[in-house]
Amino acid sequence: MNCLVGQDVPEGQSLFVFQSILLLFSDIRFWKAATFWSNICLLQLLFFSFKELLLVVQLCKLKAAFQISLLFINMSATSAG
Expressed in angstroms, the distance from the first to the final Cα of the chain is 36
Q: How confident is the model at residue 5 (pLDDT cuts 50, 70, 90)?
A: very low
- Extents of the domains making up the chain: 14-76
Rounded Cα distance, 81 and 68, in Å: 20
Chain segment 44-72, per-residue pLDDT in tens: 665 556 666 666 666 666 655 565 666 66
pTM for the whole thing? Answer: 0.27
Q: What is the pLDDT of residues 17-45, one digit of tens each?
A: 666 666 666 666 665 655 555 665 666 66
